[in-house]
Each structure stands twice: as C-alpha cells, then as structure tokens.
C-alpha cells in the first residue's frame, strides 16, 4: 500500500471516528464544552431545555444576549443545581456535551462505540466524560439525569456500579424537577 493510500485511509478513519465534529461549533461553559454541528442545533437545544420559573428567575440576573449565552447559563445553572440536590461538589468538574439532531443519531453513536442497539434519547459515556443529547428530547428531566451521571462519575475516585450510578442520576432528575 502506497503512502498516499495509507494517508487517505487514516483520514477516513478519523472522519468516521468523529461523526459531526470536524466542522462543529463549540461553546465553552464553566463546566462543559458543548459541541454541535450548526447554530440551528444549538437553538433547538435551547428551545427544548425549558426551565421552570424558579430557575428562570436565577437566569434573569445573567447576561443572556445570545443563544450561546443562554445555553451556557442553563448548563452552568443545572450543573450547580444537580450538585446541590445531590450534595456532591466534585473538584475540577469538566465534561463534554455533544448535541445531536435526533434520538436516532444518539443511538447510532452508541451502536458505533459499543456495538449495541439501544433506545436512548441521551447517554453519558464514562470513558469519554461526554454526554450525547438528542436536541429533540433535551427536556429538563433528561438533561438533569445525564448531569447526575457526570456529577457521580466525577465525585467518586472509583467507578460506582451501574445500578447505583443509575439510581443516583434518577435521584438528581427527580429532585431537581420536583423543586
């Protein structure tokens, strides 16, 4: 195989390993780096992530001039709220969020990475420290649940068993959305 053929093959492998990320937009928040394909995806995520009045009041004091500002503030606020509800405040909490256009896109990424068909609307990858969200289903319940996984993962020095991890994420979701 020639050097040019090897280079082309390597480039293709990289492209298929990073679906939707080569030309993606990026937004940095206090806690997360949000990756998305285009501004419409970010706008849709922002629209779907409707906060209850008690949280909207907190956001009114912050600068929300653009969709980017509003998404950044929502993510930071929800991470703070989940940490408070769970009474877990890990040091150096940093993670990535990948916004995808549909549940099918989330399921396709999961299938590529783990070889399993699932019906997930979103999921948190422990190994990548990354949440994959379908922007069509980015409700407060879904987002707070996945952030619950992030907080648990960053809080403990060892990985917690999956069932315990899931119960704690459900606790975060239930208590954040019930307030």
Tell me the pLDDT tens digit for each residue of 16-51.
444 444 446 999 999 999 999 999 999 999 999 999
Mean pLDDT throughout 7-17? 46
Query: 14 falls in which pLDDT band (50, 70, 90)?
Result: very low
Mean pLDDT throughout 104-133? 96
% of the chain residues with pLDDT over 70: 86
Q: How far is CA 116 from the centre of its chain?
A: 20
pLDDT at residue 84 greater than cutoff 50: yes
* 8 Cβ contact list (under 8 Å, min separation 6): none
pLDDT at residue 8 greater than cutoff 70: no
Q: Are strands 32-36 and 95-100 parallel, antiparallel or unpaired?
A: parallel
What pLDDT was estimated at residue 117? 96
Q: Cα(125)–Cα(133) distance, rounded to whole angstroms?
A: 11
Q: Are strands 32-36 and 25-28 parallel, antiparallel or unpaired?
A: antiparallel
What pLDDT was estimated at residue 176? 84
Q: For 20-178, CATH number?
A: 3.40.30
CA distances from 164 to 107, 117, 130, 152, 159 (A): 23, 23, 19, 10, 10
Greater confidence, 161 or 176? 161
**Where along the chain do its domains lie?**
20-178
% of the chain residues with pLDDT over 90: 72
Mean pLDDT throughout 125-149? 95
Greater confidence, 16 or 128? 128
Tokens, residue 38? 């285009």
The answer to whether 36 and 42 have CB atoms below 8 angstroms apart is yes
Q: Are strands 95-100 and 122-125 parallel, antiparallel or unpaired?
A: unpaired
* Run of H or E residues at 18: none
Q: Cα(77)–Cα(108) distance, rounded to whole angstroms?
A: 29
Greater confidence, 141 or 3? 141
Q: Cα(174)–Cα(179) distance, rounded to whole angstroms?
A: 9
Range with the poorest average pLDDT among 5-14, 54-63, 113-122: 5-14
List the Cα angle 8/132/66 in 5-degree steps. Answer: 100
Closest Cα partner for 42 from 107, 109, 105, 135?
135
pLDDT at residue 119 greater than cutoff 90: yes
């Amino acid at each position: 195989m020639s050097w040019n053929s090897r280079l082309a093959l390597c480039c293709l492998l990289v492209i298929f390993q990073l679906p939707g990320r080569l030309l993606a937009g990026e937004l940095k928040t206090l806690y997360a780096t949000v990756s998305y394909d285009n501004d419409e995806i970010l706008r849709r995520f922002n629209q779907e992530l409707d906060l209850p009045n008690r949280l909207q009041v907190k956001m009114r004091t912050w600068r929300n001039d653009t969709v980017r500002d509003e998404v950044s503030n929502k993510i930071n606020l929800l991470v703070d709220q989940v940490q408070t509800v769970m009474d877990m405040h890990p040091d150096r909490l940093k993670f990535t969020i990948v916004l995808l256009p549909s549940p099918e896109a989330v399921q396709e990424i999961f299938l590529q990475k783990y070889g399993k068909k699932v019906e997930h609307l979103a999921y948190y990858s422990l190994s990548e420290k990354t949440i994959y969200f379908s922007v069509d289903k980015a409700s407060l319940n879904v987002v707070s649940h996945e952030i619950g996984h992030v907080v648990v993962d960053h809080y403990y020095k060892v990985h917690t068993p999956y069932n315990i991890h899931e119960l704690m994420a459900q606790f975060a979701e239930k208590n954040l959305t019930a307030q």
